[in-house]
């Protein structure tokens, strides 16, 4: 099964600092396993979020090159419509979220793919939308 990896997990893994909590190390290890198993789904908006805000052109180019290993899942008109529907459902339940978050939810639903995230907003979305969240195995892996 393919897994849609959210920006929050990628950012944790790509962080330059080597200091991680055991929980963070477990998340990074799980991401590495998913990459090794070729189970990653990437979408353009997540790629854009990952590349945004990098002040060093060298770091930008290095990350852009690394991310080219992951092909973007094509977005279609119905994905945007579903994202708007997800937004409306959550908003009526008093839950706010970003347009990209709801696009992620729409694609995860279309692909029947769990979302791998550390963003607590998705736990709230999951109460109202037809999405599942990926739970990595607990490893005794620490950096």
55-110 residue pLDDT tens = 899 999 999 999 999 999 999 999 999 999 999 999 999 999 999 999 999 999 99
Token couple for 80: 């945007």
Place of tokens 């696009």: 103
39-70 residue pLDDT tens = 999 999 999 999 998 989 999 999 999 999 99
- Domain count along the chain: 1
Tell whether 53 is covered by a domain: yes
Please list the alpha-helical segments (H only) found in 20-97.
22-36, 44-51, 57-67, 77-92
Tell whether 143 is covered by a domain: no
Query: What are the residues facing 3 on neighbouring strands?
Result: 40
Tell whether 98 is covered by a domain: no
Token couple for 9: 């997990």
Does residue 101 sit in helix, strand or coil? helix
């Amino acid at each position: 099964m393919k897994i849609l990896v959210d920006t929050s997990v990628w950012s944790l893994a790509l962080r330059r600092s080597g200091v991680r909590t055991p929980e963070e190390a477990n998340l990074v290890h799980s991401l590495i396993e998913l990459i090794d198993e070729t189970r990653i789904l990437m979408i353009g908006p997540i790629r854009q979020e990952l590349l945004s805000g990098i002040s060093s052109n060298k770091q930008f180019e290095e990350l852009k090159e690394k991310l080219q290993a992951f092909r973007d899942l094509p977005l279609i008109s119905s994905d945007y419509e579903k994202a708007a529907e997800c937004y409306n459902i959550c908003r009526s339940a008093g839950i706010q979220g970003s347009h990209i978050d709801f696009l992620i939810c729409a694609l995860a639903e279309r692909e029947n793919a769990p979302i791998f995230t550390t963003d607590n907003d998705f736990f709230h979305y999951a109460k109202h939308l037809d999405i599942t969240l990926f739970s990595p195995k607990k490893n005794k892996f620490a950096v």
